[in-house]
Amino acid sequence: MNSHKILPPIHVHPIVFFFITVAVLTGMLVDLVIIFFIVFVHEMGHYYFARKFNWKVKRIYLWIFGGVMETEDDARRSWKEEWIVTIAGPMQHLFLFFFFYLLAASGLVPDSTINIAMQYNTFILLGNLLPILPLDGGRMLQLVCDDLFPFQTAVSLAILLSCVSIVTVLFIAFFIGHLSLSLGLLFVFLFWENRLEWKRRHYKWWKFILYRKSDAKIYKKKSVLHVERERRLVDIFQQFYRNRYNVIRINDVPICLSEADCIHAFLSNKLHHLTIGDIADTKEEVNYV
């Protein structure tokens, strides 16, 4: 991304053109403009803080009731930065409520239009807080899982819980009689996004491991993994936490190995069957805990 650009490339999901056609035919073009305005302001909240943290933003992808800001180097971002960028989107809705209130007080816009804008702002805010990926609520769910579970488990668990949430919301909407065509299409899109995330989860995990090889950050938390010397390194990597420094302790042996030692040895030898015992045997110095 060019740092001098005010905005990144903005792309519109093809399904939006279907809704534009429907809006024109049904006389709801004003509603669609309001929705896009709210979604755009929401995404600008994410984008502003992403730029503050020097994230590489590839593009903003807009769809009917939300958007996705696509970024690079996600494994290099801190957990704190991700929280700030994630909640920055929903926070914009509070400013929008105030903005719509000022418009109503000015008398420049009909009250009926203000009421519609308030309703859509509320709907989009609450919808984005659902624990469904790639919505903001789903991102928050992912961050919580990252803090509680090893990274590989956290990624898979967040996707599974996201799919459960999709099915749950669809059932609730059906039983209360609010399941519409637009809502159905929206959740088809969300389910498809989660399917893609599931297929990418192993790539995401390996990217995380490769990053940890050269990670120079200082972590406040430390995770001590107690393992047998016969455990393969690739199996131990599956227990690594994202927001902690991982230390490997071999049972019954007063040796601690750092995550950097293990990852470097694994990538240098390129042997999937390499065990933690093999690494310990090559260490000339013994670290006691």
Active-site amino acid positions: 43
Closest CA to 212 of 150, 279, 135, 119: 150
Give the predicted TM-score (pTM) of the model.
0.85
pLDDT digits (tens, 9 = 90+) for 106-157: 988 899 999 999 999 999 999 999 999 989 999 999 999 999 999 999 999 9
* pLDDT score, position 70: 82
Least confident of 61-75, 139-153, 220-234, 257-271: 61-75
Domains of the chain by range and CATH? Answer: 10-211 (no CATH), 221-282 (3.10.580.10)
Q: What is the mean pLDDT of the chain?
A: 86
pLDDT digits (tens, 9 = 90+) for 176-208: 888 887 788 788 888 999 999 999 999 999 889
* pLDDT score, position 285: 45
* pLDDT score, position 1: 41
